[in-house]
Amino acid sequence: MHDPSIIRDGSTYYVFSTDAPNQSGHIPIRCSTDKLSWTACGYVFSSLPSWIPTAVPDATGIRAPDISYFNGAYQLYYAVSSFGSQVSAIGLATNVTLDQTSPNYKWVVQGLILQSTTGDDFNAIDPNIFVDSSGSVWLQYGSFWSGIFQQQIDPSTGKIMAGSPIHHLAERASSVPNDPRRSILSGSSRQPPLPLCFLGLLLRVPPKAGAGIPGRPERHTVQYAREVDRKASASFADWHMLWQMPLIGHHGD
d(CA 154, CA 71): 10
In a domain, 156, yes or no: yes
The whole-number pLDDT of residue 231 equals: 54
In a domain, 171, yes or no: yes
Query: What is the total residue count of the chain?
Result: 253
Q: How many domains does the chain have?
A: 1
Q: What range does the domain containing 178 cover?
A: 5-246
The whole-number pLDDT of residue 251 equals: 31
In a domain, 252, yes or no: no
The whole-number pLDDT of residue 152 equals: 94
Contact 220, 247 (CB under 8 A): yes
In a domain, 251, yes or no: no
d(CA 192, CA 127): 17
- One-letter amino acid at 96 equals V
User: What is the pTM for the complete model shown?
Assistant: 0.79
CA atoms within 13 A on the CB side of 239: 15
The whole-number pLDDT of residue 170 equals: 67
Closest CA to 158 of 66, 239, 20: 66
In a domain, 18, yes or no: yes
Chain centre distance of CA 154: 19
In a domain, 56, yes or no: yes
**Spans in the chain with pLDDT lower than 50:** 180-183, 194-200, 209-217, 230, 241-253
The whole-number pLDDT of residue 195 equals: 35
In a domain, 12, yes or no: yes
Check which CATH number belongs to the domain holding 182 and give it: 2.115.10.20
Q: Which residues make beta-bridge pairs with 45?
A: 26
Contact 125, 115 (CB under 8 A): no
Give per-residue burial for 108-133: e unless 16+ CB within 10 Å, then b. Answer: eebbbbbbbeeeeebbbbbbbbbbee
